Amino acid sequence: MRRNGDPEMILTRDGFDGDAVVSDGNKFITGNGKFGYRGTLDEMTREHCVGLNIAGLYDGVEGKWRETVNAFNPFYLQVYADGKPLCAWSDNVIGHRHSLDISCGVFSRETRFSVCGGTLELKAQRFCSMADVNVLASRLTVSSDVDVAVEIVAGIDDDVWELNGPHFSSVAKGCREDMLYAVGSAQESGTSVRVNCKFSSVPNRFDGRFAHFYVTVAAGKTYVLDRIAQVLVGDEQPTPTEDYDALYARNADMWSKMWDRSDVELEGDGIDRAQFALRYSIYQLLILTPRGDCSIAARGLSGQTYKGAVFWDTEMFLLPFFMNTDIAAAKRLVEYRIRTLDGALAKAKSYGYKGAFYAWESQDGYDACSDFNVTDVFTHRPVRTYFKDKQIHISADVALGIIRYFDKTQDNELLLRGGLETLLQISLFYYSYSYYNHNKDRFELLDVMGPDEYHERVNNNAYTNYMAYHCTVRALELCRALRREFPSEVAAVLRRFEPDICDSLDEWASKLYLPACGDNGVMEQFDGYFALEDVTAEEVRKRLVNPREYWGGTTGVATATRVIKQADVVMLAVTLPQYFTVGQIAANYRFYLGYTEHGSSLSASAYALAACMTGRAEDAWKWFLHTAEIDLNGGGKQWAGDVYIGGTHPAASGGAWMVAAQGFEQICRPKFLHRVVSHHE
């Protein structure tokens, strides 16, 4: 594939648009799995949503939602020319451009100013090092066609943008020759966060917060200032760093290796737009490659939205990419769920159930999901929602991730070191949660919420029932197979359960109600769904009084209708297609399409995959572009009631990869002009 500097791998914005600052922060983000740096300019501050988000470090302030922590910004910089500040929005700007090279994760800006009768140009680039995960690097160049006196104010901005802060109880700052530092402690845990920033030259003075450099830029000459930063969390210690050029080369080399195993190339006429969107989606996934014990949050590393928590998105939309491109990273994602089993056991117990009920919004196993996730736009009062306590499908989603990983790797050790117990505890949870209907001699899963979050507290959601069934059956199969090969190890696992656990689960699975497709091939999403008002998503949209209204809950505009938030039965069909015929998948695709609002970024890729499975080439292409371009177009909902939910959409990026790398091949090639020609694993 093409390498760094190639224009076909560069995302660009020409001209400064103040209204696009927040969306550009998402769109031009850089990262390396440990932290993400939003795509903002050097002179921007918290009011522009500058963020350096740290993966897996959570903090809670009393009375507010617990969320991930944004570190101090090490690369704040303000240039003054002839005593006047130079900003991208100054009235003396001649031209501006900023860009992101997705081949190597480098963000750049070029801004030209009219100064002292001539033109001064600022150029800057920065990256989060993939090779040295604590390190960020930045290079500033200042050039002019006239002599001009320049002051550069640079340093670590400790005025942090936060949604539910402040998260640092105290901040200490200082300067040692050519290096600034800022260190603070998270309020809840006391975990320290230290940011160091080393300059390529010694500043002329330090004012207690920022360093000041005074230079005269001669006509035709260029002044260069490099900054190398380290972000250190907890007990991490600073390490010697190389100069900017060496760091840049190491970062580019690491990116090259990652692209070699991750790239998917499309072939056909007029596919440049789609090819870039796909590679941009892959880029978004690569910058989230998990480090250490962390998993991947629903909004990635773009900020604190959704509390930085891990959702079902990870198993269902992200894990497939990593299982095919970076199996070590995939293993870390699976091990995260095994490691947080105790939290799932505790959650189930708190509701009076046995087994493992996983966190809907996991912060290292703690369920950060609030009972009141939405604020009514009319009354401004919090609305009781049931994501946390009724979306029980989360445990099956976790189980499916473990099962898929094992099917790919045959990693018996992972199962014996917690994976098998996790699968059995998840199965036990469903057994414990279920209701036995004596009249119909079957088990049912009542009072649940499926992927369609607009209909709460329904009975026998098809997705939930099938997922619970499938994962229980597979857990029992794996248990029996492992017992033959590792009898003593499996016996040790089974001693943590009732003696007849496998027999009980086997009987339960054999009697669990699994909704069937009707004569028309359509499966009812949940009991009573077909009796709801038969109205399309577009018709319901017209009923909105306020565009920020929440569609679901007890009083939402969609609640009494067939209109659903996102793929539900269709999601089931593409996840477990072995339970459907192709004709049934097609029937459910046709039936539910008009009712689906696509109020979640997870929805389009499920419909794209269903279109692939049923030979709908044009639909597949449309839904693929929809999901692949969601962050490029600034799509997705930004608000749920009065709550800001903006940020990047990793699940959409993962879905785009799934459609391109796995879905398109299912379409008869002669009928489909745009086909995948290579997938480097």
- Model confidence at 665, in pLDDT bands (50, 70, 90)? confident
Residues involved in catalysis: 453
- Specify whether the CB–CB gap between 207 and 245 falls below 8 A: no
Amino acid, single-letter form, for residue 109: R
pLDDT at 671: 39
H helices then E strands: how many in the chain? 20, 28
State the Cα–Cα distance between residues 362 and 356, nearest whole angstrom. Answer: 13
Identify the bridge partners of residue 95 per DSSP, sorted by sequence position.
112
pLDDT digits (tens, 9 = 90+) for 524-547: 999 999 999 999 999 999 999 999
Beta strands in 449-592 (DSSP E): none
- DSSP element (H, E) containing 582: helix 582-593
Using a pLDDT cut of 70, give the percent of the chain over it.
96
Q: Is 108 helix (H, G, I), strand (E, B) or coil?
A: strand
- Specify whether the CB–CB gap between 128 and 32 falls below 8 A: yes
Nearest of 577, 562, 664 to residue 623 by alpha carbon: 664
**Within 210-243, where are the H helices?**
none
- Specify whether the CB–CB gap between 262 and 318 falls below 8 A: no
pLDDT at 526: 98
Helix axes 487-494, 462-485, angle to 10 degrees: 140
pLDDT digits (tens, 9 = 90+) for 127-156: 999 999 999 999 999 999 999 999 999 999
Q: What are phi and psi of 581, to 5 degrees?
A: -85, 165
Beta strands in 339-458 (DSSP E): 362-363, 366-367, 374-375, 382-383, 435-437, 442-444
The residue-averaged pLDDT of 618-630 equals: 96
Pairing of strands 222-233, 135-144: antiparallel
The residue-averaged pLDDT of 440-458 equals: 97
pLDDT of 2 over the 70 cut: no
pLDDT digits (tens, 9 = 90+) for 39-92: 999 999 999 999 999 999 999 999 999 999 999 999 999 999 989 999 999 999
Q: Cβ neighbours of residue 676 under 8 Å, at least 6 residues apart? A: 264, 265, 266, 267, 660, 661, 664, 665
* Token duo for residue 265: 């190339």
pLDDT at 272: 93
The residue-averaged pLDDT of 349-364 equals: 98
Angle at 298 between CA 237 and CA 195, to 5 degrees: 20
pLDDT of 669 over the 70 cut: no
- Specify whether the CB–CB gap between 605 and 656 falls below 8 A: yes
Report DSSP state, residue 596. Answer: B
Sign, CA torsion 551/555/561/562: positive
pLDDT digits (tens, 9 = 90+) for 321-336: 999 999 999 999 999 9
pLDDT of 262 over the 50 cut: yes
- Specify whether the CB–CB gap between 8 and 279 falls below 8 A: no
Q: Cβ neighbours of residue 168 under 8 Å, at least 6 residues apart? A: 158, 160, 184, 185, 186, 187, 193
- Model confidence at 177, in pLDDT bands (50, 70, 90)? confident
State the Cα–Cα distance between residues 122 and 108, nearest whole angstrom. Answer: 11
CB atoms within 10 A of CB 64: 14
State the Cα–Cα distance between residues 318 and 203, nearest whole angstrom. Answer: 44
Report DSSP state, residue 674. Answer: S
pLDDT digits (tens, 9 = 90+) for 80-124: 998 999 999 999 999 999 999 999 999 999 999 999 999 999 999
Report DSSP state, residue 378. Answer: T
Using a pLDDT cut of 90, give the percent of the chain over it.
91
Peptide bond into 166 cis (omega under 30): yes
Q: Is 267 helix (H, G, I), strand (E, B) or coil?
A: strand
**Global pTM?**
0.95
The residue-averaged pLDDT of 256-281 equals: 94
Which residue in the block uniquely carries the two structure tokens 């004012």?
207
* Token duo for residue 498: 């009732």
Nearest of 175, 230, 177, 174 to residue 201 by alpha carbon: 177
pLDDT at 6: 73
pLDDT of 14 over the 50 cut: yes
pLDDT at 3: 54
The residue-averaged pLDDT of 602-622 equals: 96
pLDDT of 264 over the 50 cut: yes
pLDDT digits (tens, 9 = 90+) for 285-311: 999 999 989 999 999 999 999 999 999
pLDDT at 668: 45
Which residue in the block uniquely carries the two structure tokens 């799932």?
344
Q: Cβ neighbours of residue 153 under 8 Å, at least 6 residues apart? A: 77, 78, 79, 80, 210, 211, 212
pLDDT digits (tens, 9 = 90+) for 220-246: 999 999 999 999 999 999 999 999 999
pLDDT at 446: 98
The residue-averaged pLDDT of 205-215 equals: 94
State the Cα–Cα distance between residues 48 and 51, nearest whole angstrom. Answer: 9
Q: How is the chain split into domains, by residue range?
A: 7-261
Q: Give the end-to-end CA distance of the chain in Å, rounded to a whole number.
A: 14
Q: Is 269 helix (H, G, I), strand (E, B) or coil?
A: coil
pLDDT digits (tens, 9 = 90+) for 475-516: 999 999 999 999 999 999 999 999 999 999 999 999 999 999
pLDDT digits (tens, 9 = 90+) for 382-392: 999 999 999 99
Domain 7-261: homologous superfamily in CATH: Glycoside hydrolase, family 65, N-terminal domain (2.70.98.40)
Q: Cβ neighbours of residue 649 under 8 Å, at least 6 residues apart? A: 299, 601, 630, 631, 635, 636
Mean pLDDT of the chain: 94
* Token duo for residue 664: 């398109």
- Specify whether the CB–CB gap between 113 and 93 falls below 8 A: yes
Which residue in the block uniquely carries the two structure tokens 């009062």?
381
Q: What are phi and psi of 67, to 5 degrees?
A: -155, 175
State the Cα–Cα distance between residues 236 and 230, nearest whole angstrom. Answer: 10
